[in-house]
Structure 1
Amino acid sequence: MTDAPPRGAASTPQRAARAAGPSRGTRIALAAAAAFFFCAFVSLGSWQVKRLLWKQDLIARVDARVHAEPVPAPRAAEWPRVAADTHEYLRVAIRGTFLYEYTTRVQTTTALGIGFWLMTPLCTEEGIVFVNRGFVPMRSGDLKLPPPPKASRDVCAQVRGLSPQKQKQGSDPTGRSRGFEEHCSSPAERCGLARPHSSLTPGLASGVASDVEITGLLRLPEPKGRILRENDPANDRWYTRDIGPIAQARGMPQAAPFFVDAPRGQEYPRDASEKPTGGLTVIAFPNNHLVYALTWFGLAAMVAGGYYLVLRYDRRRTRETDEETG
Structure 2
Amino acid sequence: MNDPESKIHPRSRRSLALLTAIGLLLVAALLALGTWQVKRLFWKLDLIARVEARIHATPAPAPPRGDWPKANAAGDEYRRVVVRGRFLNDKETLVYAATELGAGYWVMTPLGLADGTTVLVNRGFVPTAKRAPATRPLGQLSGETEVIGLMRVTEPGGSLLQANRPAEERWYSRDVVAIAAARGLANVAPYFIDADATPNPGGLPVGGLTRVIFANNHLFYAITWYALAAMVFAMLVLLWRPGRPERPGG
TM-score normalised by L of structure 1 = 0.68
Match of 1:39 among 23, 28, 50: 28
* 2:156 is the counterpart of 1:135: no
Cross-structure match for 2:234:
305
Go from structure 1 to structure 2 and tell me whether the alpha carbon gap of 1:205 and 1:233 turns closer, same or farther (over 3 Å shift).
farther
How many residue pairs end up in the alignment?
Answer: 239
Deviation at 1:229, TM superposition (A): 1.1
Runs of 5+ unmatched residues, structure 2: 1-5
Matches within 5 A, 1:88-103: 88-103=77-92
Deviation at 1:203, TM superposition (A): 7.3
Cross-structure match for 1:165:
none
Match of 2:14 among 9, 25, 48: 25
Go from structure 1 to structure 2 and tell me whether the alpha carbon gap of 1:19 and 1:37 turns closer, same or farther (over 3 Å shift).
closer
In 2: Cα distance, 1:122 partner to 1:203 partner: 21
The one-character-per-residue Cα deviations of 1:247-284 (angstroms, maximum 9, x if unpaired) are: 111111431011111111254x5xx5x72111001000
User: Amino acid of the residue matched to residue 307 of structure 1?
Assistant: L
In 1: Cα distance, 2:175 partner to 2:87 partner: 19
Is the 8 Å Cα contact of residues 101 and 204 (structure 1) preserved in structure 2? Answer: no
Is the 8 Å Cα contact of residues 136 and 204 (structure 2) preserved in structure 1? Answer: no
Q: Using the aligned pairs only, state the percent identity.
A: 45
In 1: Cα distance, 2:120 partner to 2:8 partner: 79
The one-character-per-residue Cα deviations of 1:51-87 (angstroms, maximum 9, x if unpaired) are: 0000000000000011111111100010111011110
Select the structure that is richer in strand: 2
User: Amino acid of the residue matched to residue 282 of structure 1?
Assistant: R
Is the 8 Å Cα contact of residues 118 and 186 (structure 2) preserved in structure 1? Answer: no
Matches within 5 A, 1:1-326: 19-20=8-9, 23-126=12-115, 127-139=117-129, 207-267=140-200, 272=202, 275-312=204-241, 315-317=243-245
Cross-structure match for 2:3:
none
TM-score normalised by L of structure 2 = 0.88
Runs of 5+ unmatched residues, structure 1: 1-16, 146-200, 319-326
The one-character-per-residue Cα deviations of 1:100-122 (angstroms, maximum 9, x if unpaired) are: 01000001100100000000000
Secondary structure of 2:190 counterpart? coil
CA RMSD in angstroms, aligned pairs only: 2.3
Go from structure 1 to structure 2 and tell me whether the alpha carbon gap of 1:259 and 1:232 turns closer, same or farther (over 3 Å shift).
same
Deviation at 1:18, TM superposition (A): 7.1
